[in-house]
Structure 1
Amino acid sequence: MGKICHFYLYRDNVIFLHNLLNGDGIQSIAQFRKEALFDDYRISSQNEDCIAFAVDVSLLHRALRSSVSICTEFLNISISNMGIYTFIFSTTLIILGVEFQKLLVLGETADAPSKYRNLSAQTRSGRAILKGNAQSVQVSVKHFGKSLQCHLCKPDYAFYGIAPQGTGACWTVIFQFFILGSHQMEKSISLHCKLPVLDQGSG
């Protein structure tokens, strides 16, 4: 769509503007809350804490691809009995992660302490593991990506967990299907996949 993109960094959000200063062609605007992009975000400027700059889109794309390629070998997955599910890619240069909260937990459950709310996903996960409220394993990103293809069968439910396997553990996904037009489990169909674990972590 063009070579140059303008960034506007504010206290609470980040805006990407393309072709907005030029009246010709397609214009696009993308806005993100700071929490969607950063674990820790601090900004200060003499312009009411607003910083604006232009960047070459092709260079930005190349930098982002390089950052992601650094992190695509290993993936740390943790599950807690507080209904929190965390993925973390990490290197010495960058940490990328995503966290899902308030998920249904089967079996033993626990409540997340209120002081956890202001912590990063990585810190919350680490503290839950130390307290015995979570388990964590490391898997291959390549294997994990392939396991996601199982979702193409469109299951009604998917259950995730860390299961014992021999002397170690494995990352397990179990899919559940309903009889068409009902909420009754289809017992004639069974599908699950297991990912080999590279590092046992706390699992």
Structure 2
Amino acid sequence: MKKTFTLIICISISIFSYSQKEVTLEDIWQNYKFYPSGVPGFKSMNDGEHYTTTEKVEGEIKIHKNSFESGKIVETLLDSDDERLSKMGSYQFNLAEDKILIATNTESIYRYSSKSVYYIYNTETEVIKELTSKQVMYATFSPDGNYIAYVFDNNLYVYNLKWDKTTQITNDGEKNKIINGASDWVYEEEFALVRSFEWSGDSKTIAYFKFDESDV
């Protein structure tokens, strides 16, 4: 009983001491002491047994394949010191998970929207290919993984991975007038709508919004 009483006192003192520590605005907003830790670049893979994470070490960019069961790395899908990938942000896989679409040099536009320079990495050949040299918006694999759609200068484009060919889908896009495949500021701010196009399930067609701001 005496030991139990002593233990309770020790715990109470520890809790009391901890509760007396001053919490500052710097701790909250600058030092992020209370910010929950996450897993960098976490994505679940198609088999449901693995997930991917990212790592940046001394200029090298890595994407690891990890086991859900063990939490350990089972394979490194990307290990590159290519300067073009040094500012890697988000990434996505195609259906077969043998190609990775990597966003770099990302620049914010409004609250949610952004534009990036994208690269395609082939995990089998280890070749890195530039999608376009310019910053584009919302680059997205088709469901079958054979195409990539994106928005540039208010127009919608589709890149064919097999034939290495880009096709411009719309031609009337113009700043402050016509927007194809991306939302305007109002829809983004009020409805959190950003990417405004969607692939069909068979990857043969794309549905998209056209915003006309000519009279605004």
What TM-score, normalized to structure 1? Answer: 0.25
Structure holding more helix per residue: 1
Larger Rg: 2
